[in-house]
A and B are shown apart, each in its own frame.
Chain A
Amino acid sequence: MAHAHDDAHGHDDHAHGPDKGIMRWIKTTNHKDLGTLYLFFSFTMFFIGGLMSLVIRAELFQPGLQFVDPELFNQFTTMHALVMIFGGVMPGFVGLANWMVPMMIGCSDLALPRVNNWGFWLLPFAFTMLLSTFFLPGGAPAGGWTIYPPLVLQTGNSFPLLIFAIHLMGISSITGAINVVVTILNMRAPGMTLLKMPLFVWTWLITAYLLIAVMPVLAGAVTMLLTDKYFGTSFFNAAGGGDPVMFEHIFWFFGHPEVYIMILPAFGIISSIIPTFARKPLFGYASMVYAVASIAFLSFIVWAHHMFTVGIPLAGELFFMFSTMLIAVPTGVKVFNWIATMWKGSMTYETPMLFAIAFVFLFSIGGFSGLSLALAPVDFQYHNTYFVVAHFHYVLVPGAVFSIIAAIYYWIPKWTGRMYNEAAGKWHFWLSSIFINVTFFPQHFLGLAGMPRRIPDYAVQFTDFNMVSTVGAFGFFISQFIFIFNILACCYGWFGRQRNATAQVWEGATGLEWSVPSPAPYHTFEDPPLVGDDGMPVHGNAAAHAH
């Protein structure tokens, strides 16, 4: 029970705990250690991927070729996406799940701690391998993150490393997802019924299901690429009766659920933060759960909206157009509920809340541009232009990435026992929000005017908007240093910061994670708490209640 910890250690050096030094991190089976590792890994990847994007934006500042040759430019666009998606966003969310799911459902750790360790350590190795391809003859993969054949089959020495890196990331995602599903289904504290679970837990349950369903499909697709290139199969070779378009189908059968994998946990985070700072319970809890479930279901039957221009039959165009537009309905339900939660709330605007509100607005812009793209006849013009780039960056950066940032500001006092610096947080928020719009909003116009994506040069009439976009990108990148300092200061107690966070941290916060001290003890719940109707622990010895 939580209160047993009041006398527990108020320090996190774990003098009595696990191994010392590097071995602690290599051998750890603790969800908090692994969550921390995941988050630091994710930061590193965001940083590397961010540097690549700066090279891309620098090159696109003006028409003509300035800094990199086209070959290297293509390598950067390809690797930027792979690193950001599989190295940044996904591990970031897994890190948050590691930290928060056991705390939110009231258990000691994830269900399969050793598998958890394996899932993490695959990633740094897989990415080292993938990034090392920059130094091979022929360079890194350059056919785009969607790795379409036949183009991708022209990749040089780095091709098998690309395929195997994707396999290893897939194993990591699947093991991580199985762990989360099993933990949620099996380890909930007594009284934590399914419909009492915080939305972050719900969204992760559904995300994990999506991961287990589609990562193996991606593994299959890249295996076919491998055998097509080296073992003479004809999956994607029309002369042998196959079809390159078949790859696109298999890829996007994975790919579209994948984009929801990158946004559903964000929905969960936003649904946790907004009620706290509006000091009102989440509006329409059950409808939120059903909305997420229906989004997950629909995400399996919309994949060909990425392929409107490849020549699928008319019936296919129509089916995928309407099914895609249908997704806007549950998404609208969610946005409506967030706003209704804030309606007449006693709102305060701490940094996590600012990011959450920005998420609601800016993610919706991405949703609207998605809706435009969903119209098949319209997409004929927009496809492969900067409009698509603007769309997915709106859902991914002020969507997924803002939610990760918000989550870190929101929960870091719980993790470290120290409050972050609010003023710096606000600076970080305003600079990020302004620069992200400066970066991506003009790209809508570029796309509408016909500027193609993934090309290092462009016609002169696109120059102005590109310059603006590049300035925004550099500004956004530099603003993130405020964040890094703020977070590291929390972790390491720089500037003499005390462990001043209370257990509840935020006045309006509810949920099991706020019932344990800050920093949370190494094993959160030694005994499962008994969860009451309000989702908070019932005082007294839970074990006694439960037996």
Chain B
Amino acid sequence: MATDTHATPNLSRYFVPAPSAWPFCLTIALILTVYGVSGYLEDRAIPTTALICAGAALGIFIIFSWFRGVAMESEHGMYNEQVSRTYRWGMSWFIFSEVMFFAAFFGALFYARTLSVEWLGGAGEKGFITNSILWPHFDAAWPTNGPGHVGGAFEIVSPWKLPLVNTCLLLTSSVTITMAHHALKAAHRRACILWMLVTIALGATFLYCQATEYMEAYKELNLTLGSGVYGSTFFMLTGFHGLHVTLGTIMMISITGRLLFGHFKPESHFGFEGVAWYWHFVDVVWVGLFIFVYIL
């Protein structure tokens, strides 16, 4: 708690956290990591691996400790209604920012499909000139790796195999996490934990399938990140999504751990809900991907 005895806010009204060094250390961890990665990308003579490992390890340790601290504060009843609302709003806006991050990549996909590829193929008055002077043999089509055939000929992943399986997995997991939530609200802790385990298993299976899909794409279909604009949008969109699934799964594992430790009450369990929201968000993004990246 604030050590300021003189003008401490009314704690039944306001939760004021004590000074903390975690945020500062997290910054250090991030800087070490990105400095290492920068050095690696540019082949600079700095100990890149050491920097990256140190940064990542420090970062993971800090995030764990910071969240542990928050969980403890919550369990010790230091949070009031207002704090709970704060976290709700905070999480919602955070998810909104994530939506906008994906929007940038979806925007790139739509732009490429409806504008840049068409123009390269000769659509419109300016496109006509571009096409006839620069790329006379290029016909607009999707998927494409562009008039330069960047990355060589490739085939695409069929949506009706692993991607369909993955769609089912994620949609089911959204149901099971909701079941877990209902169980928690009804004070059925065991059921809640079981449903959470099912959800985690679904998430992990999704990741396994995606890894398999990527491997097939690289080895058998010659579809890579370098396969022109198709490969770029395909792997960046599904890749960032996969990263979010990974993060969501880790978050689910940690709240399941907290459930095992007896955390959360039927009437107040925002940590749980925040993770559930995040998971639904990841699910919705996937539906967008399934439709716009795989099927159409």
Among A181, A214, A526, the residue within 8 A (CB) of B7 is A526
| Shortest Cβ gap from B171 to chain A (Å) | 25
- Selecting from A215-223, A362-370, A505-513, the interface stretch reads A215-223
For A118, what are the chain B residues with a Cβ–Cβ distance below 8 Å?
23-24, 26-27
Are A240's CB and B232's CB within 8 A?
A: yes
| Shortest Cβ gap from A136 to chain B (Å) | 8
Does B231 count as interface, using CB distance less than 8 angstroms? Answer: yes
**21 pairs across A/B with beta carbons < 8 Å?**
A8-B7, A16-B4, A17-B6, A27-B21, A117-B20, A129-B34, A157-B42, A212-B93, A217-B101, A224-B108, A230-B41, A234-B150, A234-B226, A234-B228, A235-B229, A239-B147, A240-B151, A240-B229, A240-B232, A245-B116, A521-B7
| Shortest Cβ gap from A210 to chain B (Å) | 11
Using A8-B7, A220-B105 as known contacts, say yes or no to A186 and B27 having CB atoms under 8 A apart: no
- Selecting from B9-17, B157-165, B260-268, B288-296, the interface stretch reads B9-17
Does A313 count as interface, using CB distance less than 8 angstroms? Answer: yes
Are B4's CB and A27's CB within 8 A?
A: no
Does A249 count as interface, using CB distance less than 8 angstroms? Answer: yes
A-to-B contact residues, CB < 8 Å: 5, 8-9, 14, 16-19, 23-24, 26-30, 107-109, 111-115, 117-118, 121-122, 125-126, 129, 156-157, 159-161, 164, 167-168, 174, 177-179, 181-182, 185-187, 212-217, 219-221, 223-224, 227-228, 230-235, 237-243, 245-246, 249-250, 253, 311, 313, 521-523, 525-528, 543
In the bound complex, how far is the Cα of B139 from the Cα of A83, in angstroms? 44
Are B100's CB and A522's CB within 8 A?
A: no
- Selecting from B81-89, B179-187, B206-214, the interface stretch reads B81-89
For B112, what are the chain A residues with a Cβ–Cβ distance below 8 Å?
235, 241-243, 246
Using A27-B19, A242-B146 as known contacts, say yes or no to A212 and B96 having CB atoms under 8 A apart: yes
Given contacts A19-B19, A224-B232, A237-B146, 18 further A-B contacts (CB under 8 A): A17-B3, A29-B16, A107-B14, A108-B13, A118-B24, A159-B42, A161-B38, A164-B35, A216-B98, A231-B225, A235-B108, A235-B233, A239-B146, A240-B146, A250-B104, A253-B107, A525-B9, A543-B13
Does B193 count as interface, using CB distance less than 8 angstroms? Answer: no
In the bound complex, how far is the Cα of B173 from the Cα of A519, in angstroms? 54
Closest 9 CB pairs of A and B: A220-B104, A239-B148, A241-B146, A118-B23, A232-B226, A241-B229, A243-B116, A233-B232, A27-B19
Are B151's CB and A181's CB within 8 A?
A: no
Does B111 count as interface, using CB distance less than 8 angstroms? Answer: yes
Using A213-B100, A233-B232, A241-B117 as known contacts, say yes or no to A125 and B144 having CB atoms under 8 A apart: no
B-to-A contact residues, CB < 8 Å: 2-10, 13-14, 16-24, 26-28, 30-31, 34-35, 37-38, 41-42, 44, 66, 82, 85-86, 89-90, 93-94, 96-98, 100-101, 103-105, 107-108, 111-112, 115-117, 119-120, 124, 126, 134, 144-148, 150-151, 224-226, 228-233, 235-236
Among A177, A187, A212, A234, the residue within 8 A (CB) of B82 is A187
| Shortest Cβ gap from A1 to chain B (Å) | 10
Are A238's CB and B14's CB within 8 A?
A: no
In the bound complex, how far is the Cα of B134 from the Cα of A522, in angstroms? 66
| Shortest Cβ gap from B290 to chain A (Å) | 20
Name A243's closest neighbour in chain B (CB-CB): B116
Are B4's CB and A526's CB within 8 A?
A: no
Name B224's closest neighbour in chain A (CB-CB): A232
Using A108-B16, A118-B23, A525-B9 as known contacts, say yes or no to A311 and B126 having CB atoms under 8 A apart: yes
In the bound complex, how far is the Cα of B90 from the Cα of A214, in angstroms? 17
Using A17-B3, A220-B104, A243-B111 as known contacts, say yes or no to A182 and B93 having CB atoms under 8 A apart: yes
Are B9's CB and A109's CB within 8 A?
A: yes
Are A178's CB and B107's CB within 8 A?
A: no
| Shortest Cβ gap from A385 to chain B (Å) | 24
For A250, what are the chain B residues with a Cβ–Cβ distance below 8 Å?
104, 107-108
Using A14-B4, A217-B104, A313-B124 as known contacts, say yes or no to A186 and B10 having CB atoms under 8 A apart: no
Name A118's closest neighbour in chain B (CB-CB): B23
Are B150's CB and A238's CB within 8 A?
A: no
For B108, what are the chain A residues with a Cβ–Cβ distance below 8 Å?
220, 224, 235, 246, 250
| Shortest Cβ gap from A169 to chain B (Å) | 12
In the bound complex, how far is the Cα of B196 from the Cα of A87, in angstroms? 44
For B107, what are the chain A residues with a Cβ–Cβ distance below 8 Å?
217, 249-250, 253
| Shortest Cβ gap from A81 to chain B (Å) | 21
| Shortest Cβ gap from B163 to chain A (Å) | 21
Are A221's CB and B104's CB within 8 A?
A: yes
Are B27's CB and A121's CB within 8 A?
A: yes
| Shortest Cβ gap from A134 to chain B (Å) | 15
For A249, what are the chain B residues with a Cβ–Cβ distance below 8 Å?
107, 111
Name A222's closest neighbour in chain B (CB-CB): B104
Are A29's CB and B20's CB within 8 A?
A: yes
In the bound complex, how far is the Cα of B3 from the Cα of A14, in angstroms? 11
For B35, what are the chain A residues with a Cβ–Cβ distance below 8 Å?
129, 161, 164
Are A220's CB and B20's CB within 8 A?
A: no
| Shortest Cβ gap from B127 to chain A (Å) | 10
Name B230's closest neighbour in chain A (CB-CB): A241
For B104, what are the chain A residues with a Cβ–Cβ distance below 8 Å?
216-217, 219-221, 224, 250
Are B93's CB and A178's CB within 8 A?
A: yes
For B100, what are the chain A residues with a Cβ–Cβ distance below 8 Å?
212-214, 216-217
Among A112, A174, A237, the residue within 8 A (CB) of B97 is A174
In the bound complex, how far is the Cα of B9 from the Cα of A24, in angstroms? 19
Among A18, A221, A238, A526, the residue within 8 A (CB) of B9 is A526
For A108, what are the chain B residues with a Cβ–Cβ distance below 8 Å?
9, 13-14, 16
Are A527's CB and B232's CB within 8 A?
A: no
| Shortest Cβ gap from A421 to chain B (Å) | 29
For B236, what are the chain A residues with a Cβ–Cβ distance below 8 Å?
223-224, 227, 233
For A237, what are the chain B residues with a Cβ–Cβ distance below 8 Å?
146, 148, 150, 229
Name B109's closest neighbour in chain A (CB-CB): A235
